[in-house]
């Protein structure tokens, strides 16, 4: 009887620990990212209003490394109307950076440069900006605002690859567009098993 | 159990301290490791 009771208590203990982990993933991490994004959105609005004035950290399309105090600055605003995404993109894709929002792969081109620009974002926790990335289909629009211009991309393809296939960051091999944006996230949801990759082609640039 | 104080208040205080300590270890060490190892790796 005592063994049964001890076993039951152990399972209750483990169950509560798992529930605590779910709370951490869905509420705790998202609260951290929402706090960061709120600050980044306000800073980015200021930068757009005063591109060459009040905020010297924003100099066109250049990535801005963390400034004084270890702060992380946004480099662009990413909008995906179909899935309700409106987030600030930061430079770098370390997990520390992705806690702020989607990150630009440093080894890929910057927005507005010829070639492929890569952006990674979380799909579980940390506000899950790319939670519904799988809902995107060919023809959907992705909009990127920088202090230099607004870029409109159109989805051309969506694929799932293993984490070893980093060549997807070179862009869609089927596309001939000079500038592409590649969005990556985890798939299936709630696991890090594979990567969901969304290829887009630049279709319009409107300079500021 | 013999290693716990007999009085109720200190006994409860020890229970609370152990639970909070356990929760803190989970929140700040175990959960972040689980997250970055099994749940969240959106990059290449």
C-alpha span between A129 and A117 (Å, rounded) = 18
- Measured between beta carbons, which residues in chain B are less than 8 angstroms from residue A165? 44
A2-207 is a CATH 2.40.260.10 domain: yes
Q: Is residue A65 over pLDDT 50? A: no
Residues in chain B: 44
Distances in Å between the Cα of A82 and the Cα atoms of A52, A117, A137, A154, A201 are 32, 21, 10, 12, 17
Name the residue in chain A with its Cα closest to that of B37.
A192
Give the mean pLDDT of A17-45.
93
Contact assignment for A186 to B35 by CB distance below 8 Å: no
User: If residue B1 lies in a helix (H) or strand (E), which one and from where to where?
Assistant: none
- Measured between beta carbons, which residues in chain A are less than 8 angstroms from residue B20? none
A139 conformational bin, left if phi > 0, alpha if psi -120 to 50, beta if neither: left
C-alpha span between A2 and B38 (Å, rounded) = 35
User: Tens digits of per-residue pLDDT, A97-131?
Assistant: 999 999 999 999 999 999 999 999 999 899 999 99
Q: Is the confidence metric ipTM above 0.90 for this complex?
A: no
Q: Which residue in B26, B31, B38 is closest to A192 by CB distance?
A: B38
* More confident: A65 or B21: B21
Residue with tokens 């039951």: A8
Residue with tokens 């662009």: A76
Task: Specify whether the CB–CB gap between A102 and A87 falls below 8 A.
Answer: yes
Q: Considering the entire predicted model, what is its pTM? A: 0.83
C-alpha span between A128 and A84 (Å, rounded) = 12
Output the pLDDT for position A23. Answer: 93
pLDDT band at A2 (very low <50, low <70, confident <90, very high): confident
Task: Specify whether the CB–CB gap between A85 and A91 falls below 8 A.
Answer: no
C-alpha span between B34 and B39 (Å, rounded) = 7
Residue ranges in A24-129 assigned as alpha helix (H): 29-49, 95-98
Name the nearest CA neighbour of A117 among A91, A149, A85.
Answer: A91
- Measured between beta carbons, which residues in chain A are less than 8 angstroms from residue B21? none
- Give just the sign of the alpha carbon dihedral B34, B39, B43, B44: positive
Q: Which residue in A17, A185, A195 is closest to B26 by CB distance?
A: A17
Q: For residue A104, what are the β-bridge partners?
A: A91, A119
Rg, C-alpha atoms of chain A: 20
User: Tens digits of per-residue pLDDT, A125-174?
Assistant: 999 999 999 999 999 999 999 999 999 999 999 999 999 999 999 999 99
Output the pLDDT for position B44. Answer: 86
Distances in Å between the Cα of A156 and the Cα atoms of A41, A94, A201, B2 are 28, 27, 7, 69
| 3-class state of residue A194 by DSSP | strand
Q: For residue A90, what are the β-bridge partners?
A: A74, A103
Distances in Å between the Cα of A62 and the Cα atoms of A18, A76, A114, B37 are 42, 10, 14, 31
Q: What is the mean pLDDT of chain A?
A: 90
């Amino acid at each position: 009887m005592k063994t049964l009771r001890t076993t039951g208590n152990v399972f209750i203990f483990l169950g509560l620990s798992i529930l605590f982990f779910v709370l951490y993933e869905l509420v705790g991490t998202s609260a951290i990212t929402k706090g960061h994004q709120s600050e980044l959105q306000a800073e980015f609005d200021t930068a757009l209003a005063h591109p060459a004035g009040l905020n010297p950290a924003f100099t066109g399309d250049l990535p801005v490394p963390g400034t004084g105090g270890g702060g992380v600055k946004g480099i662009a605003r990413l909008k995906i109307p179909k899935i309700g995404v409106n987030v600030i993109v930061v430079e770098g894709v370390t997990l520390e950076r992705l806690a702020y929002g989607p990150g630009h792969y440093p080894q890929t081109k910057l927005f507005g440069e010829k070639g492929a620009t890569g952006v990674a974002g979380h799909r579980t926790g940390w506000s899950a900006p790319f939670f519904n990335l799988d809902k995107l289909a060919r023809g959907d629009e992705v909009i990127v605002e920088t202090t230099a211009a607004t870029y409109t991309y159109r989805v051309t393809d969506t694929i799932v690859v293993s984490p070893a296939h980093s060549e997807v960051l070179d862009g869609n091999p089927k596309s001939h567009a000079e500038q592409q944006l590649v969005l990556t996230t985890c798939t299936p949801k709630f696991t890090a098993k594979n990567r969901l990759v969304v290829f887009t082609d630049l279709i319009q640039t409107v300079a500021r | 159990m013999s290693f716990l104080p007999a009085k109720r208040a200190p006994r409860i205080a020890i229970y609370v301290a152990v639970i909070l300590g356990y929760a803190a270890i989970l929140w700040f060490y175990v959960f972040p490791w689980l997250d970055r190892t099994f749940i969240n790796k959106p990059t290449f």
